[in-house]
Amino acid sequence: MDERRMRMGVLISGGGTNLQAILDASAAGRREAEVVVVLANHENAYGLERARRAGIPAAWVDRSAYQTFRAYNEALRDLLLEHEADLVVMAGYMRLLGTEVLDAFPDRVLNIHPALLPAFPGPSGIRDAFEYGVKVTGVTVHLANEKFDDGPIIAQEAVTVADDDTIESLEAKIHEVEHRIYPEVLQLFAEGRVAVEDGKARIIPLAEGPSGAR
Which listed residue (42, 113, 142, 175) is catalytic?
113
Helices (H), the chain: 17-27, 46-53, 69-82, 99-104, 125-132, 167-190
CB 145 within 8 A of CB 121: no
Query: What is the torsion angle, in degrees rounded to the nearest 10, for the CA atoms of residue 177, residue 51, residue 15 and residue 121?
Result: -50
CB 63 within 8 A of CB 13: no
Q: Do the bridges between strand 58-60 and strand 136-143 make them parallel or antiparallel, or are there none, so unpaired?
A: unpaired
Establish whether 113 is a catalytic residue: yes
Q: Which residues are catalytic?
A: 113
